[in-house]
Structure 1
Amino acid sequence: MFNKFEEHDAYPRSAITTTAQSHSLPAYTTRHDTLFSLGRQHYVPGNSQRTNDLQQFDKMDTDLPWNYKILETDDEEEEEEDDTENNQEIQELNELILSQQLGHLLTNTTHTEGHLMKDMKTEIEKIPNFLTKHNSSFKQMLYQAQLLVKSTSPTTTIDIKQLRDVAIIIYKMMILQTYHLLWTAYLKSGRGELIISSETIPIWPKDITSLLKVNKAINSHEIYLKFVNQHLHALDHQLNICKTELNTKANNIDGYSLMVQKIIDTYIEKHIQPFRLKIEHQIELIHYDCHIRILKLQYIQHNPNQYQIEIMKKICQNKYEQETTEQEYNFLKQQIDYYNSPNQSFQHLPLAQAAGIGTIENAEIRQQLLNQYKEVALNVRNNLFPLYLTTAEDQKEEFQKKFEENVKKVYTDDIFIDGNQNLSSTLIQIINQRCEKISERIKCIYKFKVQSTLLFD
């Protein structure tokens, strides 16, 4: 049964969010993992760091937060006491207890915040491979910057380590600024400033509410607000420290100029692009989540009956399944076209790495076994690709049909209309708007998948 103001999480969350018990997604969600194992070249870069980044991209959150408790109201109003003085004493006591609880919870957020800040500090303070002194492209960039410094100040003796220190500080600043954008989006959403509308509707993202298990009986808004502001202040503080360090180190280099810094900036921006894309994608999802939850709130504010609430959830879930299967089908087609393209040489695919064959000393036998293995492997792959595609297409059509039937049915459902044609029309309009945002969100997720894989191509 569905609760009027609370629905169960339908889809698994990842990364920063908590995992909810739910029914599993359609089978296609695991099929393309098998496809990857049958032939992935640019999808799994040789560099281990890139592989880890891409694995995180694949784990990006794909659930829809239409299942959140968005309306905090009591089902029954408190009865007024005839004794006004006694009622006032009770109210003062409740306020005192609330104040103590609030202070206790704000104190207890320190550990959670510290853990999260530790994760961000790890990203900020680590020295990535592309900034190590052994990286050839990094050394080449520093050499170019060094030549530019000497061209403007020929008598300057510049230690290449000075430029490397500058580059590391600039890297930290770029990471800090990117995180700042994410946490600013959290804050705007929580303040009701993320979506411009006729009324301010505060929506705290699931990323934040899942970190702080706040009792709904207290002022959770203030807890979340303090929590996010503390993180933003910490990021500002670290950014100011980096700015001071950058100015100090740059001033110690005769001939350092904006042109020199531009060379360093361009190099770093290129290499942190996957990280920035990931954060920008998270921010996009925050916008969609906010839209979707606001529409649910607007729906509930029309006081729908229990059946009308169930219909809304059912159709939204149908839309999720329909759009996901369609996008997954399109994504699968792109992958198959990629693996079947003429420029995909077999020996460069993970599929070609047959364990044990390469260790055979006899070159003639080794080549003979490799040829046999290649023939069998490609035959298996060529047989599986059409099967995957056919299965995905069947699922796409099945969920498309299911969604269209349920949408069509709701217009003539007497129980849904419930004798109020105007109200039911308004509810249907909100459902349609919500489905549209759900569709846009899923398209955004798959667009990011394509961008992130092409980035490593």
Structure 2
Amino acid sequence: MEEQHLSQKLSQLSTSSCKTTDPLLTRTSENREENVPDYLAKGSQSFEKIINQISSMEKIEELRQIGILIYQFSMIHLQKSLWIAYWKAEMGQLKSSNQMKNDNDHIGPQLWPLEVQSEIKMSTSNDTCRVFVTRYFSELDVQMKHYENELSNKKNQFSDYIQTIETFVQENLTPIRLYYEYQIAVVEYNYYDRVLELEYLQHNPAHCQ
């Protein structure tokens, strides 16, 4: 429900005032079409091994394409989860477990993480940068829907093989998943650190001079 509410808030932002360039959108879109991990590349022995256990090698290329779709969808999902953390930091919605127990309605400081500032090269208003991030979310959603639809069609044809391929891809994605979890943890840590710093300065104004 929380992610659905966030998506609704994102969709309310207008894109008419956005004047920033979108290098991140272009780069992710291109990479997703061109980059295939080694374990899903043509001739991958690890992939051929699992396919050989469940099907004839005649279907390997079609099943490999399913694996690539699962990989692409999963990568977008991971990237979106990181950018949701960025967005929540800017909206003041990142909360520690203690805050969630004691004050669900509390809104913290609105801080763009440094990672976002470097990507967007922030030199305009927050509203314009919010539009940039909103457009990025929209781009991810469109691609996720595209891959989801393709996978749905494939599942009807190759239902007996989907679970095995899904498990294979997700196991190989473990290092990348851990990387994104680490990045989200860093965003949260830096945000809470900055919140504590601001609270300290608020109670010790002499240190601001």
Alignment TM-score > 0.5, same fold = yes
Partner residue, 2:126 = 221
Alpha-carbon distance between aligned partners in 2 of 1:214 and 1:286, rounded to the nearest angstrom: 18
**Count of aligned pairs:** 185
Partner residue, 2:198 = 297
1:138 to 2:47 alignment: yes
Alpha-carbon distance between aligned partners in 2 of 1:275 and 1:121, rounded to the nearest angstrom: 18
The CA deviation at 1:134 is: 0.8
The change in CA–CA distance for 1:239 and 1:208 in structure 2 (over 3 A counts) is same
Partner residue, 2:188 = 287
Give the unaligned 5+ runs of structure 2: 1-15
CA contact (8 A) 1:182 1:283 kept: yes
The change in CA–CA distance for 1:145 and 1:203 in structure 2 (over 3 A counts) is farther
The CA deviation at 1:165 is: 1.2
1:56-99 Cα offsets, whole Å, 9 max, x none, are xxxxxxxxxxxxxxxxxxxxxxxxxxxxxxxxxxxxxxxxxxxx
Matches within 5 A, 1:192-211: 192-195=92-95, 196=99, 198-211=106-119
Matches within 5 A, 1:44-55: none
Higher relative contact order (CA 8 A, sep 6+): 2
Partner residue, 2:151 = 246
CA contact (8 A) 1:145 1:264 kept: no
Partner residue, 1:266 = 167
Amino acid at match of 1:204: W
CA contact (8 A) 1:189 1:204 kept: yes
1:324-345 Cα offsets, whole Å, 9 max, x none, are xxxxxxxxxxxxxxxxxxxxxx
Amino acid at match of 1:185: A
CA contact (8 A) 1:182 1:279 kept: yes
The change in CA–CA distance for 1:214 and 1:171 in structure 2 (over 3 A counts) is closer
Alpha-carbon distance between aligned partners in 2 of 1:130 and 1:211, rounded to the nearest angstrom: 30
Alpha-carbon distance between aligned partners in 2 of 1:264 and 1:293, rounded to the nearest angstrom: 43
| Identity among equivalent pairs (%) | 29
Partner residue, 1:119 = 27
CA contact (8 A) 1:209 1:224 kept: no
The CA deviation at 1:303 is: 5.4
The CA deviation at 1:292 is: 0.8
1:311-360 Cα offsets, whole Å, 9 max, x none, are xxxxxxxxxxxxxxxxxxxxxxxxxxxxxxxxxxxxxxxxxxxxxxxxxx
> Aligned with 1:279: secondary structure?
helix
Amino acid at match of 1:272: L
CA contact (8 A) 2:82 2:184 kept: yes
1:171 to 2:54 alignment: no
CA contact (8 A) 1:193 1:200 kept: yes
The CA deviation at 1:116 is: 1.2
Amino acid at match of 2:128: I
CA contact (8 A) 1:208 1:224 kept: no
Amino acid at match of 1:295: L
